[in-house]
Amino acid sequence: MSHSQSMTPVRYHKIRTLLSKRQPDLTLLLEEVHKPHNVSAIIRSADAVGVHRLHAVWENNRPLLRSTAMGSQVWVDMQRHSSAEDAITYFKSQNMQVLVTHLDQNAVDFRKIDFTKPTAIVLGQEKTGATSEAIAMCDYSIAIPMLGMVQSLNVSVAAALILYEAQRQRDNAGMYEHNRLSEEQAQLVLFEGGFPVLYAQCVKRNLPFPFINGNGEIEASEQWWQALQFSQK
């Protein structure tokens, strides 16, 4: 029995182009950022500058309101952590510099940071900011210069400004000119973005994800197709 499942060539090449610009060593940590419109805006900004994966700490396993993200959640992965300390420890194990948006006497103008280095940026909760534990673990506090009466920006606006400075520096350094994402990571996005219904079935039934070939077609064994058909009944 033959199975014909493929995405259009236009969609396949669009996704491949997107993946070729991804920056796996640039990320954000959302530490108890709760408001759906902020989370949504941050995800969209991350997608726009080529962030591949975001990280988040939410109390009580708070669900991500994925419906607010305008489809960007398909293209930007989200990894949860039980605490900011765990997340920052992970970043440092990846040899990333860890920054936190926090205004103190040691804060550095965000434009003076070298964002071509592997970088993680901690964004704190809307009202209280980053926790003292997270701040203590970070390499630098960064600030956005402000000349008005108000001394803080909305967290999603701050995220966008910082990310676009990172994008500017990385673009000038030619970091968007060659693929930096592994093929394994690319395959996950190709399947979820190109075959969302089948992807959902695989996740629901705990089936392995198939390989997507250069024509945008699924390559899988007869046993895989049979398991998928059985799960859809």
- Which residues are annotated binding-site positions for S-adenosyl-L-methionine? 101, 144, 153
Helix (H) or strand (E) holding 27: strand 26-31
Q: How far apart are CA 223 and CA 233, in angstroms?
A: 16
| Annotated binding-site ranges | 101, 144, 153
CA distances from 88 to 58, 120, 131, 135, 160 (A): 15, 8, 12, 10, 21
Q: Checking DSSP bridges between strand 26-31 and strand 53-57, what pairing results, if any?
A: parallel
Q: How far apart are CA 187 and CA 199, in angstroms?
A: 12
CA distances from 14 to 28, 194, 197 (A): 25, 10, 19
Transcribe 47-110 into DSSP letters. Answer: HHHTB-EEEEE-GGGPPP-GGGGTTGGGTSEEEE-S-HHHHHHHHHHTT-EEEEE--STT-EEG
